[in-house]
Amino acid sequence: MADLHNKVQQEIDQLYKQHYGKMVASLLRFSKEIDLETAEDLVQDAFAAALCHWEVQLPDNPAGWIFSVCRNKALNKLRDDKKFLRLHHAPEPASPAMTFSADFPDDEQLRLLFACAHPDLAPKVQVVITLKYVINFKVATIASLLGMTIDGVDKLLLRARQKIKEEKILLITPAPDAMQQRLPIVHKIIYLIFNEGHTSAEGKTLLREELCEEALILNKAILDSHMGNIDTCALYSLMLFNSARFKARFDENGELIDLEQQDRSLWNQDLIRLGYYYFNQSKGTQLSAYHVEAYIAYLHSTATSFATTDWKKIAQLYKQLLPNPFVELNYAIALYYAGEVDSAFELLAGLQRSPFMNSYYLLNATLGKLYMQEGDHAQAAVYFSRTLTQARSSAEVNYIRKMLSKLNL
């Protein structure tokens, strides 16, 4: 019995991950009388029903079973609503077209992605609803990934549903011309999702890697649909170069490893070659920030060692992305390793004058590391100690403690 229960739970988790958002989207297209919140409730009810019924025996077609239950619950809901209207002498809505199907089109995920990129939704909302409805992450997972509370994600989703309902922003397939207009927003959503997985120092490396993979899958779907452009290729190239180095960024305990100490033999050369292919495909007359970042990632990925990295070229590329305080931090680091030490510290001092950046973990960690390399261990200790209250995860705290232990104080 325990084995069957575990098998059922695994099957439901897998189906949820693959089909949750598709089912919600299908219900929204099934009838205009079904809003987003109702669609989610119906899908959740179908999964709950599966958890109860499958404890006896798994069906031959689990996805079809849940989809059928979902369809029947939707029909019952619409019939109940009509009965309520008749009792109160209100006109009934037109019957919905019976187009609800158990087939899951290959491009369903892509249509949902462009729907989530509605320009009237705030960028953070776009990212959260993409994680929920396109990538099918549960609320607890989204909260963990974005450094939010579960209650915070629930409230954001509640506000999003209200806005979608009140302003008639339905999660339905946009017109072809609207999809093209939304392509830059889609690029930004994918970029933000990938960065959340790649740059975070949280110790849950498998979940972070999965997030990066999901961003790559979404980007590749756009390329395969022939809806993409050279920016899509550049973004895909950037993510491939960075993904190639993922395995070397953490040790066996999930602790951060500096770029200088990473084992470059662990870098995935197949992904680097694929990144180079799409980087060539991205060539054009009007280049985006994705092109510049992809070139920076290419220079890192193809350098045989930290010392032979073309830091001068990387600094020049970062300069093209200014003004931006986070880019300026990377620019200063590149200048330092390019030998322009005074210019680097001057830029870092300027960033410290910003209250926000002065409380930013990576700025103070960078200052600590560079002062340590300059031999000023007392000053390094000041900045490393400051970061202990700014760290976002145990991995960052452990990294700082390791750096402090290396100081001869």
| DSSP letters spanning 375-397 | T-HHHHHHHHHHHTTT-SSHHHH
- In 99-164, which ranges are E strands? none
- Quote the tokens at residue 27: 């219900």
Give the model confidence (pLDDT) of 188-240 as tens digits: 999 988 988 876 544 455 567 888 888 998 999 899 988 899 999 999 999 99
Beta bridge partners of 250: 256
- Quote the tokens at residue 349: 């001092």
pLDDT average, residue stretch 283-311: 96
d(CA 235, CA 200): 19
CATH of domain 2-87: 1.10.1740
CB 28 within 8 A of CB 78: no
pLDDT on residue 85: 42
Give every CB contact of residue 397 below 8 A, 6+ residues apart in sequence. 388, 391
SS3 at position 287 = coil
Burial status of residue 256 (CB atoms within 10 A of its CB: 0-12, 13-18, 19 or more): middle
Using pLDDT thresholds of 50, 70 and 90, give the confidence band for residue 164: confident
Q: Where are the domains of the chain?
A: 2-87, 105-203+214-225, 229-309
Taking Cα atoms as reference points, which of 300, 301, 304, 296 lies closest to residue 234? Answer: 296
Name which of 50-54, 91-95, 225-229, 383-387 the model is least confident about. 91-95
Name which of 23-32, 78-87, 155-164, 269-278 the model is least confident about. 78-87
Is the confidence at residue 87, as pLDDT, over 60? no
